Amino acid sequence: MSRRALFVALALCALAVALGALRWRLIERAPMLAIVFDHQDHFAVKCATCHHNFFDRTGNDSCYFCHKQRPELARRVQTDFHTLCRDCHTKIAAQGYASGPTRRCGGCHDWRTPP
Partner 1 sequence: MQTGSKAPAPAGRSAPEGRLLWAVLAYACVPLGLVLWANGSGVDRLWDLAMGLGVAAATIVALLPVLSARWWAGAQGGSSLLRLMQRLHRDLAWLCMGFVLLHVLALLWLEPRTLDYLLLSAPGYMLAGLGALLLMLALIVSSSARLKRRWPQGVWRRWHAAMSLGVVALGLWHLLGAGFYFAGLGAQAALLCLLGVPTVIALLWHFQPPTVTGRAPRETARGPRRGGALATVALLLAVLAACVWWAQALTSSPAADVPYPCPAGRCL
Residues of this chain that bind partner 1 (CB under 8 A): 19, 22-23, 26-27, 30-38, 62-64, 68, 78-79, 81, 83, 86-87, 89-90, 93-94, 96-99, 101-106, 109-115
**13 or 35, CB closer to partner 1?**
35
Give the SS3 label for residue 87.
Answer: helix
**6 or 94, CB closer to partner 1?**
94
For 110, other C-beta atoms within 10 Å of its C-beta total 13
CA torsion sign, 97 to 103 to 106 to 109? positive
Cβ 97 to partner 1 shortest distance, Å: 8
Are 112 and 33 contacting, i.e. CB atoms less than 8 angstroms apart? no
Cβ 58 to partner 1 shortest distance, Å: 16
Cβ 10 to partner 1 shortest distance, Å: 20
Cβ 57 to partner 1 shortest distance, Å: 20
Q: Which amino acid is at 18?
A: A
- The span from the CA of 69 to the CA of 55, in Å, is 20
